[in-house]
A and B are shown apart, each in its own frame.
Chain A
Amino acid sequence: MTFADSDSVVERARCLFSRVALGVAICLLAAGVVLAEVGRPTESLVVLESGAVILLAIPILNAIAALLEEIGRRDWPFVAAGALVIGLVAYSVIDKIR
């Protein structure tokens, strides 16, 4: 079962989001490097961290999209698998933020 088997709203949104988010992340990372080189370290750090956060968000949202696809198909074993994966990732993120 591939993403291409489905032309759902979720899949179209996932694809569009991934492209836009990757583009934004690339721009932020490039801008952050330039800002650091022109002597703006504080602004540079904020911009670079924002780029890194977007890079972290892309795979998480892709996993959520895969979960939503399986919910739409009512294929509960794979819904459980997706929920478990997102739960594990959420645990590792929230545990460090606390």
Chain B
Amino acid sequence: MLTLALTLLVGVLAGGLGALLGVGGGVVLVPLIHAVLGRSFREAAAVSLVAVLATSASVAASTETRKLLNVRLALVLLIFSVSGATFGASVLHLLSEQTYERIFGITAAVIAVGMLQRLDKRNVRSASAVVDPGVLGGHFYDEDTRTEVYYHPRRLPIAMFASFGAGLLASFLGIGGGILVVPSLNSWCGVPMRVAAATSGFMIGITAIPGAIMHYHLGYLTDFRLAAAAALGVLIGYRLGISLGQRTPVRGLKILMAVMLAIVALRYLI
């Protein structure tokens, strides 16, 4: 009972931070399940993938997201993320527990640095307007600026490469991969942050499937109660994070998160 309550709490924390910082819950959930609950890294990753599926389902069901999600861009990038996830899932059994930890440590370090570099960017801020959206672009009404924002994705190979990496990480580590896709779409491809987050939210569920199936097939998902508690916690936390989004000092949270990730990275790399 205590384990389930702790897992639910860890899920709420992961989902809340994920929604506030746009990092996805997995990067918080996996080390907490591993370190706090004492489960193996493989099991933590398997549990996290179920939570990722729940988060993505929540994004897909949201009316707000529907206005922002760029389906065509998602379909193109999904080819790469699902390919990465399928490849990652096929070599999953070859990796040792220590290799998982090393990969997670490196990923956590990279995310911490990326987060510190993007301290002043909120997860809900849009980019400036572009006139011609093109085939893969789009438009949406931005509540903050009260204007119709048009955008045209550029330098797509970067997003494709990031999507392949996100798929690999989803299968290896149980994290959604939004941490790679959202910054690359926003910083290098000119996609507004809210559109990037909604599109990534749609993508992570489909990307998580090959890894989730393989983790189950290899017997890493041994405790469904734990996965259910984590998924329910992440859903609660995600809703809380969304509702607190405008009022929370994101800069401070990002610094805290970066410090936490740096500690996680040191724990797994040293």
On chain B, the residues within 8 Å of A88 by CB distance are 79, 82-83, 86, 210
**How far is the CB of A80 from the nearest CB of chain B, in Å?**
9
B96 to chain A, nearest CB (A): 22
Distance, CA A21 to CA B53, complexed state (A)? 12
Closest A residue to B221 by CB, please name it: A52
- Interface positions of A from 10 to 56, Cβ below 8 Å from B: 14-15, 18-19, 21-22, 25-26, 29-30, 32-33, 36-37, 44-45, 48-49, 51-52, 55-56
Chain A residues, CB < 8 A from B205: 58-59, 62
- Please, which residue of chain B has its CB at the minimum distance from the CB of A5? B138
Residues of B within 8 A of A82 (CB): 75
**Complex: chain A residue closest to B85, CB-CB:** A92
A interface residues, tally (CB under 8 Å): 48
* Docked-complex contact B75 and A89, CB < 8 angstroms: no
Tell yes or no: A85 within 8 A of B by CB. Answer: yes
Which residue on chain A has the smallest CB distance to residue B83?
A88
Q: Does B68 contact A (CB under 8 A)?
A: yes
Which B residues are in CB contact (< 8 Å) with A69? 71
Is A62 in contact with B1, judged by CB distance below 8 angstroms? no
CA A89 to CA B67, docked complex, whole Å? 26
If A18-B61, A30-B232, A52-B224 touch, does A84 touch B71 (CB 8 Å cutoff)?
A: no
**Which residues on the A side are within 8 Å of B56 (C-beta)?**
58-59
Main secondary structure of the interface of B (DSSP, over half): helix
Given A59-B56, A78-B72, verify A37-B4 contact (CB < 8 Å): yes
From B14-22, B27-35, B211-219, B243-251, give the one contacting chain A: B211-219
- For residue B192, give the distance in angstroms from its CB to the closest CB of chain A: 12
Category for how many chain B residues contact A: 35 or more
Instruction: Say whether B103 faces chain A, with CB atoms less than 8 Å apart.
Output: no
B204: nearest residue on chain A (CB-CB)? A59
Q: Which residue of A lies closest to B70 (CB)?
A: A2
Q: Tell me what chain A mostly uses at the interface: helix, strand, loop, or mixed.
A: helix
CA distance A77 to B253 in the complex (A): 42
B107 touches A (CB below 8 Å): no
B228 adjacent to A32 (CB under 8 Å): yes
Q: Verify if A96 is at the interface (C-beta below 8 Å from B).
A: yes
Complex Cα distance, B213 from A18, in Å, reads 21
Of all chain B residues, the one with the shortest Cβ separation from A15 is: B66
B261 in the interface, Cβ–Cβ < 8 Å?
no
A-B contact pairs, 13 of them (CB 8 A): A22-B61, A30-B232, A33-B232, A56-B212, A58-B57, A59-B205, A62-B202, A62-B206, A78-B76, A81-B78, A85-B78, A88-B83, A96-B214
A residues within 8 Å of B by Cβ?
Answer: 1-5, 14-15, 18-19, 21-22, 25-26, 29-30, 32-33, 36-37, 44-45, 48-49, 51-52, 55-56, 58-60, 62-63, 66-67, 69-70, 75, 78, 81-82, 84-85, 88-89, 91-93, 96
Which 3 interchain pairs have the tightest Cβ spacing? A59-B205, A92-B210, A48-B224
